Amino acid sequence: MLERRLPRWLAWAIDREQARRAPFLAHSPLFAGLPRRLLGRLGTRFLEKAYDAGEIVFHEGDPGRALFVVVEGTVEITQATPRGEHVVRTLSAGDAFGELALIDESRRSGSARVAEPARLLILYKTDFDALMDGEARIAVVVMRNLSRVIAAYARRNPVVVTEPAPRPEADERP
């Protein structure tokens, strides 16, 4: 990055917040393997928002439009069950959630609620798509990491078939 190459007397020209963002994103499993140059470009696409404890980031069933990365605080991912709300994961600084929104705008499989006052980085699919159009490497690396996340999720939650699906030829004919 530029801040390492600049002489000390030019340090005032460096945006500290932006300079911290790239190394921070490098620690997220989703962006692991991206070179610093691309992390810098990716970092500019994130928006930041502060949340108070108890605030809802998104509801289960909403269309997913963005990926969130926790900068500070904790966020709980919950799912509604007949017995009430069930906490699936608790996320802290560096963790990302809502990753599937980068693939399509499918509905959220759980709700996200802020447990402790938090600052979140938000990457919208529109911005990510625009970035991928110009930088195929970002697409390759992030999609590979995303595949790993999905594979890990699938291994943790195997699909159990309880009864065979009805066959069309088994239908009763008049």
User: Which residues contribute to the site for another protein (CB under 8 A)?
Assistant: 1-3, 12-15, 18-19, 22, 37, 40-41, 43-44, 47-52, 55-59, 61-63, 65-66, 80, 82, 114, 122, 124-127, 130
Query: At its nearest, how many Å lie between another protein and the CB of residue 76?
Result: 14
Query: At its nearest, how many Å lie between another protein and the CB of residue 102?
Result: 13
Query: At its nearest, how many Å lie between another protein and the CB of residue 17?
Result: 9
Parallel, antiparallel or unpaired: strands 66-81 and 111-124: antiparallel
Where do we find the tokens 């625009």? 130
- The nearer residue to another protein, 106 or 147, going by C-beta atoms, is 106
- The nearer residue to another protein, 30 or 57, going by C-beta atoms, is 57
Query: At its nearest, how many Å lie between another protein and the CB of residue 16?
Result: 8
What angle separates helix 125-134 from helix 136-156, to the nearest 10 degrees? 130
Q: What is the rounded CA–CA span in Å between residue 144 and residue 80?
A: 30
- The nearer residue to another protein, 82 or 168, going by C-beta atoms, is 82
Cβ–Cβ under 8 Å, residues 49 and 114: no
Query: At its nearest, how many Å lie between another protein and the CB of residue 8?
Result: 15
- The nearer residue to another protein, 26 or 125, going by C-beta atoms, is 125
- The nearer residue to another protein, 28 or 51, going by C-beta atoms, is 51
Parallel, antiparallel or unpaired: strands 96-97 and 47-51: unpaired
Tokens of 102: 């980068």
CA 8 to each of CA 2, 71, 156: distance values in angstroms, whole numbers, following the listed order: 12, 28, 49
